[in-house]
Structures are given as C-alpha cells and as structure tokens.
Amino acid sequence: MGRLFGTDGVRGLANRDITAELALDLSVAAVRVLAEEGELAGHRPTAVVGRDPRASGEFLAAATIAGLASAGVDVFDAGVLPTPAIAFLTAAAGADIGAMLSASHNPMPDNGIKFFSHGGHKLPDATEDAIEARLRGDWERPVGDQVGRVKPFPEGAEQYVAHLLGAIPHRLDGLHVVLDTAHGAASEIAPKAFERAGAQVTLVGAAPDGLNINDGVGSTHLEHLRRMVPEVGADLGLAFDGDADRCLAVDATGAEVDGDQIMAILALDLHERHALAGDTLVATVMSNEGLMQAMTGAGITVMRTDVGDRYVLAEMRRGGFSLGGEQSGHVIMLEHGTTGDGVLTGLMLAARVAATGTTLADLAACMTRLPQCLVNVPGVDKHAVDGHPVVQSAVAQAQRDLAGLGRVLLRKSGTEPVVRVMVEAASPERAQQIAQQLAAVVASELALAPA
C-alpha cells in the first residue's frame, strides 16, 4: 500500500477513498502526534476548520470536527473559505491545528483533507508519516470537561478580507475586473475583497451549489474568462481554482497571462519597491526559460526547485526569500501568507495595473515565453531515465542543437510509469521536433518488458 498522504494532504474519491471514518481517524491521529511532539503541551489546544463548497465537504468537515473535539481540541468552525484563509486564520487565532476539506482543482466527486500546524504551516513529511502510523490505534479518550467544544467562526471571513486589503499597496479604483471563482471557496470572499478595494466586479462561476465546483470553470477552464473580459470591456480577468490557492489571468484582449508572467510582474514590482528579499524569485524547473531571461535582465536571481509548491516554500523559508511560485498559478508571498493564495495574488496583480496605469498585456510583456512542447511517454522504466547513457546522450545532443536558445527537461511522473519530455525552443515547430525525437529515444530505450 502506498503512502496515504500525497503532495498536498490526503485526496481521493469522497465516500470511497476519503470517508467520514478516515477524516475522523486522521483528525484524532493528528492531535495525538502533535501532542507527542510537544506542540500541544501546557494548554488547551484549539483548531480552525474550513472547507470548500463541494457537497461531500459537509459530512467530511463534520467528521473532522468530531475527531478533533473527541481528542480534546476546541474547534472554531469557519465554514466555506479558501485554503489560504484557513492557513491565515490558524496563525492569526494562535490555533494549534488547522484543517481544510478540499480537493482543490479536482472534480466534485473527489475531496481531501490537509492539516496545518501552529502558525498556519503545512505539516512536514515526517509528521504526516507519524499521523498515518497512528491511524485507528488505541488511545485514552478525554471525558467530562476535557472533551473539545465546537463554536461557529463566522467572523473568520471578515478577518481574512481585512488581511487581504491590508496587504495590497494600491487601491483598485477605476479598474473593471472579471472574476471566475470556479463555483468554489472564493465565490463570496473574492468579490467582496475586490469591491472593497475599489474595483468594479463582473462574476463568472460564482454560484456554488455543492455539485458544480470546477465544472468547466476556474483556472483549469479559462475559455469563459477569455470570452467574457473583452465582451464586457474589462481591464483584466482572474480565475481561481476550487480552493482558491492558485490564480491565472487574462488581459483585456482575452489572452492568457500564466503563473510565470504573474510572478515576473510581481517580482519586478517588489524589486522596484526594494521589497524583494535577496532580489530573488523562487520557481520550479517547469517555469519557462523566458522567466529566467527576464529576471536575469532585471538583476533578479531565480532559484529553481522540483515541481510542487511545498518545494518552493521550503526553498523560500531556507533562503529567507519573499516571492515564489509555479507556472500553474500557485504564488506564495511569505510576507503575507504561508501558502499560495489566489485571491491575494489577483489583488496584487490588479494593484500593479492600477498603480502603473499600464495594461496587463503591457506588464506581461516584461517576459517573452519561449514556445514549449510537452510529450508524455508512457509504459517506460521512469527510474532508469537519469542514468541511461543513450537517453542522456540524446538529451545532451538536443541541448547542443538548441545552441543556447532553449532548454530540455526530462521528468519522472510521481504516480505513473511515465517520463515527461519538455522542450523549449525559439519556435513551436522546433520545440515539437526535438521533443518528439527525444520521446522516441525514451520510448525505445526504456520500454518496460511485457507483463
């Protein structure tokens, strides 16, 4: 059996993989582990719990709250809020534990649970492993007045909005923004924050009914936003995913502005304000080489990490850096939060447009994306890719053929027998040609033997 915790909590099909029993047991185990690690010593522990609007979140949040309270934790039930809001409120309330029920950009039948420790930080792998090891074990249950109490926490939403508004350096008066909230956790919070910041707001995908989260809307489906922004004459559009920890944008013409371009815009803004710690941006190996070139030209160092916002965050905390993120739209601003925050990212991007009086298209032109081609090669021994002489020779030759005008990257899938071949080049045709050549080498050299 594989590890229960993935790269972002425990996730799967609700009521099959992610059951009420599992949510309750995970919550109890989390309390036990944190108590053993000394995190809960000397005081009555507290927790903040939130969820996205998907229907299964109702019973899973109830089970999570029940587990925490049965383990002697007082619980503040924040209801439907974005994941970064629960991380923020865990820190702001001085709570010992945060719990969020969400499957992010996954379809409605899925759900998941992730935990935050004191300060609103995601749990390290070792703590997650310890929680998994404690599942369904014997334990001494508190009784009487030692059981936890549960309180509604409606004021949490207002505290989070105030936090967002306090972070932006410039109001949005005069801007018209289209928001696609994916029928998700930001459906009420995002329009409230943008309107209070002074923006005129048009909404897409902001009518959650428990069943429609991420259903053809949000950051994985930009087609509605691309059409709507020019149709209503808006200045820009912003799309979030179901739990609102990521943000992508479109400019006034409907053209996409991806996570790399957003990071470039925000990095230059912070750099000009002498607020970019270490004059460094942290990005993953999947970020476009055009981002590297633009940042180098502006005197900004780019640190690359493996794919995953937890690796970006680890590097940011290690080096004391203030800005990092992924091409997918996860952007972390450590001065204001401990995790990617889509609504905050959108507010910061809109504030830059308002402060400069420049269109988003012109701001995004600070970097030129190199054409990129990604080919997945299935049915191969992915673990042999790094040391295989023929494959590595082909990679080296491809890099020489690009003559410094592109990049080659081979990555192992984390969950499948797949190698991902990514090539960036001066033209789409050149990128595709080299990617297909490399994919053919990988397929022939690393093919798995028939079962």
Residue with tokens 């492993």: 129
User: Which residues, 6 or more positions from 233, have their beta carbon under 8 angstroms from its beta carbon?
Assistant: 176, 252
Q: Which amino acid type is present at position 23? A: A
Class of 159-364 in CATH? alpha beta
What are 416's two structure tokens? 């499948």
Answer for the pair 381, 448: CB distance below 8 angstroms, yes or no: yes
Mean pLDDT of 234-241: 98
- pLDDT for the residue 157: 98
Q: Which residue ranges make up each domain of the chain?
A: 10-153, 159-364, 372-445
Closest CA to 243 of 349, 116, 106, 98: 106
- pLDDT for the residue 181: 98
Q: What angle do CA 284, 290, 293 make, to 5 degrees?
A: 95
Mean pLDDT of 289-306: 95
Separation CA 163–CA 170 (nearest Å) = 14
| Topology match between the domains 10-153 and 159-364 | yes
- pLDDT for the residue 1: 47
Three-state SS string over 185-218 comes to: CCCCHHHHHHHHCCCEEEEECCCCCCCCCCCCCC
Mean pLDDT of 50-72: 98
- When the pLDDT of each residue in the chain is averaged and rounded to a whole number, the result is 94
Separation CA 299–CA 55 (nearest Å) = 48
Would you report the helix, strand and coil content of the chain in percent, each value rounded to 5?
40, 20, 40
Full DSSP string of 241-310:
-TTS--EEEE-TTS-EE-HHHHHHHHHHHHHHTT-SGGGEEEEETTS-HHHHHHHHHTT-EEEEE-SSHH
Beta strands 121-122 and 110-117: pairing type?
antiparallel
- pLDDT for the residue 374: 92
Residue 2 clears pLDDT 70, i.e. is over it: no
Q: Where are the beta strands (DSSP E) in 4-71?
A: 10-13, 46-51
Give the confidence band of 450 by pLDDT, cuts at 50, 70, 90.
confident
Please write the tens of the pLDDT for every residue from 390-408: 999 999 999 999 988 889 9
Separation CA 163–CA 443 (nearest Å) = 50
Mean pLDDT of 10-34: 96
Binding site, by residue number, is: 104, 241, 243, 245
Binding site for Mg(2+), by residue number, is: 104, 241, 243, 245
Q: Which of 27, 56, 102, 104 is catalytic?
A: 104
Answer for the pair 334, 321: CB distance below 8 angstroms, yes or no: yes
Mean pLDDT of 38-46: 88
Query: Structure pTM?
Result: 0.92
pLDDT over 70, % of the chain: 99
User: Which residues, 6 or more positions from 144, have their beta carbon under 8 angstroms from its beta carbon?
Assistant: none
Q: For 120, left (φ over 0), alpha (ψ -120 to 50), or beta?
A: left
- Range among 29-38, 173-182, 386-395 rated most confident: 173-182
Q: Please say if 287 is a catalytic residue.
A: no
Separation CA 362–CA 253 (nearest Å) = 11
Superfamily of domain 10-153: Alpha-D-Glucose-1,6-Bisphosphate, subunit A, domain 3 (3.40.120.10)
Neighbours of 28 (CB within 10 A): 25
Residue 301 clears pLDDT 90, i.e. is over it: yes
Separation CA 37–CA 31 (nearest Å) = 10
Closest CA to 76 of 139, 15, 152: 152
What are 82's two structure tokens? 């974005």
CA within 13 Å, CB half, 313: 21
Q: Return the axis-axis angle of helices 83-92 and 155-167, rounded to nearest 10°.
A: 90
CATH number belonging to domain 372-445: 3.30.310.50
Mean pLDDT of 213-236: 96
Residue 437 clears pLDDT 90, i.e. is over it: yes
Mean pLDDT of 280-290: 94
- pLDDT for the residue 413: 79
- pLDDT for the residue 395: 94
Mean pLDDT of 275-295: 95
- pLDDT for the residue 439: 94
Separation CA 204–CA 218 (nearest Å) = 9
Answer for the pair 355, 366: CB distance below 8 angstroms, yes or no: no
Instruction: For residue 149, give the 3-state DSSP assignment.
Output: coil
